[in-house]
Amino acid sequence: MGWLRTLFGTRKGIGPREADGLIRSGALLLDVREPAEWRAGHAPGARHIPLGELEGRLGELPRDQTVVVVCRSGGRSARATAVLTRSGFQALNLNGGMGAWASVGLAVQTDDGQAGTVV
């Protein structure tokens, strides 16, 4: 896990392929977009907590897992990453957000498993 400490210590965010690898290795993907954005499409397995609710819902997040935070383009998720880091979580921002995620061909789906879109 020394590489993970190095990653957290030297970088503010990660790209979509690196995020996908971390998620496949057990990291949690936290989507902080608004409900309408989430309903249009999100990454499979992501957890949804809108940015405006995050501070009041920190207890819902595991402290023993890396949290990769995503929004539409990376701004809101950067703010959420700062909140999480200040609260003692190991958190990374997904640079470029869901737009970057979708642009490299990673899955975007609706709650019913259908193909989703990034809005």
Where exactly are the structural domains of the chain?
Answer: 2-103
**Residues forming the active site:** 71
Q: What is the pTM of this model?
A: 0.90
Per-residue pLDDT of the chain (119 residues; tens, 9 = 90+): 444 444 444 357 999 999 999 999 999 999 999 999 999 999 999 999 999 999 999 999 999 999 999 999 999 999 999 999 999 999 999 999 999 999 999 999 999 999 999 99
Architecture of domain 2-103: 3-Layer(aba) Sandwich (3.40)
Distance CA 42, CA 3 (A): 28
Largest Cα–Cα separation, the chain: 38
